[in-house]
Amino acid sequence: MNTDKTLLLDKLKDYYTEIFEKELIDEIVNVGIYRTIESGGTLIDIGDNMTHIPLILNGAIKIIREDKNGDEIALYFLEKGDTCAISFVNCLNRSKSMFRGVAEKETEGIFVPVNKVDEWLKKYETWRHFIIDSYHVRLIEMVEAIDSLAFMKLDNRLLKYLTDKVKIMQDYTLIITHQEIADDINTSRVVVSRLLKKLENEGKLKIRRNRIIIENI
């Protein structure tokens, strides 16, 4: 086995060998492409052609939807062991991406070409279950994002966002600006700053320049 394939196998062993059979792992090693995406880098952008789907090895990817006016909202995050099942559907339909994926921190992934994704659905039961389960999870997360936007008060949306962010980043100190938060929850920076100050007065967090320290959420 050459060096590149050995690297891929080592990366996959940390998680995916527990859910995929050896034959499927061998195929992923043979056709997969390993990539590292720096924090803030783009995994996929709106309008890009979908040729591969990612298997996330480490890190976190924020999936964003943008309207015609350029306003954004964060829908969900991809973490270790995840794939973007919506990307999978785009791949099968040979359609362009409707979402943007941005790395919240340095992220590693193995990218599988779409023709293999389709082929493995028929060939491997574990792959079929993985894709169906992934699609189910992403659908639930999208519904939760819609419910949050439609029904949840803004202060509760902000609390949920901060809680999810801490979990994703595995750090109680979030390096983030008020404007970035406003973009993610689809509101104004002024409103976010006011709500953060209220939470700080309640002892739930501390506000510092370009960072928020979570204490009691």
Q: Name the band, by pLDDT with cuts 50, 70 and 90, for residue 89.
A: low
0.95 exceeded by pTM: no
Per residue in 35-60, pLDDT (tens digit) is 999 999 999 898 888 888 899 999 99
Per residue in 146-196, pLDDT (tens digit) is 888 778 889 999 999 999 999 999 999 999 999 999 999 989 999 999 999
Mean pLDDT, residues 57-83: 89
Q: Which of 11, 163, 182 is nearest to 77 (CA)?
A: 163
Q: For residue 69, give Cα distances in angstroms to 66, 152, 192.
A: 8, 23, 20
In which element (H, E) is residue 125 found? Answer: helix 125-151
